[in-house]
Amino acid sequence: MPIADLIKQNPNGLVARALAFAEKAHRGQTRKSGGPYFNHPLATAETLASWHMDDATIAAGLLHDTIEDTGTPIEAIKKEFGDEVAFLVNGVTKLGHFKYRGEKARKHDAKDQAENLRRMVIALSEDLRVVFIKLADRLHNMATLAALPPAKQKRIALETDEIYAPLAYRLGMYNLSGELQDLAFPFLYPKEYAWLITNTKEQYETRLAYLETVKPDVERVLREHDITPLKIEVRAKRYSSLYKKLLRRNMEMGRIYDMVALRVIVATIPECYATLGVIHETWPPAPRRIKDYIAMPKPNGYRSLHTTVIGPEDKTIEIQIRTKEMHDEDQYGVAAHWLYKEKGGSKISGKKLAEELTWVQQLRTWQDHFSGQTTDAAEMLQAMKVDFFQHRIFAVSPRGDVVDLPAESTPVDFAYHVHTEIGDTCTGAKVNGALVPLDHKLKSGDVVQILTQKGKKPSEDWLRFAKTAIARDHIRTALRSKNRFPQKERGPARAELKIAVEDRVGLIKDISATIARNHANILSFHSDNPKGNRYPFDKVEIQTTERAKIEKLIVKLKAIPGVKEVSYHLI
């Protein structure tokens, strides 16, 4: 809902008061692109409203530059708008100005960058809403980038392309990620951009015009079959991703089918399939180009039906079919959870959302770990980018847990991301049912089963191919302790929990998170499914023998959906 409507609905609400406050605070200031400065926080807040953010976030979007640019004290914001809004505004201010210079950064710059990334990580794990505000802020800054001097344009565009666009992507905000890349593209690759415009403009426009003529046909045949589409839109491929695709296909424009596509949004999943049927009945589908991402979502959660048909005048048309919910998830990513969870009655907080995103937690753990060491800042930045901001693959455990890893990761990386103990005791791996060497490079969608043996230790050789900093770090730690205590096996008193479970996605994660929250160290984790047992079970060794603590933990474990029974004994 646009800000103006929000204010009409609630003239004395948070948003209305924040708007008046920010307007007054920025009065007299102008932007480099001309016009009153207040246009910028207003545009930021409009974007947040279009992502269905809550009022506190929208208000903080309006106020996000008041501390830094108007000298308003944080106490004034707290007094006027309360702790929540003040926390968000303060969080965005603390993220500060990211002086990003990319790979070519000099050493002392690298230190600043690492510090900035560190702040971003903390913001991410504390309250994702701070990051949403920062992304909305960046979106408007990119849209008005032309007004800045060229050197600054390049730096901001690079930072957007290398940090903010991947960050948006990792939050599932694919549309925003693409938009940020598209806005950065002309500043980073001016020659390529000019080439693309010259060589594709006509084809683009012809295709767009063609699809506009097909649109009413699609609507008509659907209505004839009693399907009322909520929306049919023509979607043009972004220049930045078109360019990447062309590079992969030797610049052959003719082979890009989906340069422009039709998108049909309907109410329900059965209607998605009915729509596909009607379309195939009307226009013949191109063979092997039907993709059912509803039955088999992409590992990143993307859902839609895709098909390519031979339309009127024998021209190919790519069509995507999805429900409103799928569409919103694709557009807004994790922000869509607000929308749908809120409808269900329980409002989800930014902090809760951050907890749900395991990779945010991984990032936080990883970063805490590194900040305690005297690691070279440039090296840390590089490692962080390799681990979290580069191309990702999504591998799957036999139970269906998705493990998100950088490209070229190996089974050893997979094992350590599931659990340290599984990594340490890994002896081999099966990928899609076949045994593979441990340096095998995983691909998205691979089902990875790790073979373990109790008491096994990592081999020094693993450092040759392990890709992630998490795995490399654990291997080094394990090697160190192996060398320090060559004979001694682990000593601490421990207990074994036996947990009967009903298999479901995410269960291992929930169990280990519950144990960790109760401050019990996990020493080992094994899943077993012996014949004759009603349920498979997980055996977890934890490092404590305090019965009271264990019994308290058991109560918590039993509350996890899918956990059927828990017993324990001391070892």
Task: Please list the active-site residues.
Answer: 68-69
Longest dimension (CA), the chain: 78
Tell me whether residue 19 or residue 438 sits nearer to Mn ion (CB atom).
19
Residues 283-342 touching Mn ion, rule: CB under 5 A, are none
**In the sheet that 448-452 helps form, which strands lie side by side, from edge to edge?**
434-436, 426-431, 448-452
Phi, psi of 402 (to 5 degrees): -90, 130
Contact range with Mn ion by CB under 5 A, out of 61-69, 342-350, 417-425, 510-518: 61-69
Asked if residue 127 binds Mn ion (CB under 5 A), the reply is no
Provide the minimum distance between the beta carbon of 71 and Mn ion in the complex, in angstroms, as a whole number.
15
Asked if residue 137 binds Mn ion (CB under 5 A), the reply is yes
Asked if residue 131 binds Mn ion (CB under 5 A), the reply is no
Provide the minimum distance between the beta carbon of 110 and Mn ion in the complex, in angstroms, as a whole number.
25
Tell me whether residue 183 or residue 260 sits nearer to Mn ion (CB atom).
183
**Which string of DSSP letters, residue by residue, matches 304-348?**
-EEEEEE-GGG-EEEEEEEEHHHHHHHHHTTHHHHHHHHHTTPPP
**In the sheet that 537-542 helps form, which strands lie side by side, from edge to edge?**
522-528, 537-542, 495-501, 563-570
Residue of minimal Cβ distance to Mn ion: 137
Provide the minimum distance between the beta carbon of 334 and Mn ion in the complex, in angstroms, as a whole number.
22
Angstrom distance (rounded) from CA 13 to CA 16: 5
Scanning 395-498, the segments in alpha helix (DSSP H) are 411-418, 420-424, 469-484
Provide the minimum distance between the beta carbon of 73 and Mn ion in the complex, in angstroms, as a whole number.
18
Determine the distance from the C-alpha atom of residue 287 to the mean position of all C-alpha atoms in its chain, rounded to a whole number.
Answer: 32
Contact range with Mn ion by CB under 5 A, out of 94-102, 136-144, 340-348, 354-362: 136-144
Provide the minimum distance between the beta carbon of 153 and Mn ion in the complex, in angstroms, as a whole number.
16
Closest residue by Cα to residue 208 from 241, 178, 233, 175: 233
Provide the minimum distance between the beta carbon of 137 and Mn ion in the complex, in angstroms, as a whole number.
4
Contact range with Mn ion by CB under 5 A, out of 63-71, 125-133, 205-213, 473-481: 63-71
Closest residue by Cα to residue 145 from 109, 175, 171, 179: 179
The region, left, alpha or beta by phi > 0 then psi within -120 to 50, assigned to residue 498 is beta
Tell me whether residue 38 or residue 187 sits nearer to Mn ion (CB atom).
38
Which residue matches tokens 């601490």? 492
Angstrom distance (rounded) from CA 225 to CA 210: 24
Q: Which two tokens stand for residue 560?
A: 């996890």
Decide: helix, strand or coil at residue 429: strand
Provide the minimum distance between the beta carbon of 22 and Mn ion in the complex, in angstroms, as a whole number.
11
Tell me whether residue 65 or residue 328 sits nearer to Mn ion (CB atom).
65
Angstrom distance (rounded) from CA 101 to CA 161: 11
Q: Which two tokens stand for residue 122?
A: 């903390």
Tell me whether residue 127 or residue 137 sits nearer to Mn ion (CB atom).
137
Tell me whether residue 143 or residue 209 sits nearer to Mn ion (CB atom).
143
Provide the minimum distance between the beta carbon of 140 and Mn ion in the complex, in angstroms, as a whole number.
7
Tell me whether residue 100 or residue 243 sits nearer to Mn ion (CB atom).
100
The binder of Mn ion chosen from 65, 159, 424, 538 (CB under 5 A): 65
Identify the burial level of 18 via C-beta atoms within 10 angstroms of its C-beta, where 0-12 means exposed, 13-18 middle and 19 or more buried.
buried
Q: Kindly state the number of chain residues that form the binding site for Mn ion, as judged by CB under 5 A.
A: 2
Tell me whether residue 137 or residue 162 sits nearer to Mn ion (CB atom).
137
Measuring CA to CA, how many Å separate 11 from each of 5, 7, 53, 110, 135?
Answer: 10, 5, 18, 47, 27
Residues that bind Mn ion (CB under 5 A): 65, 137
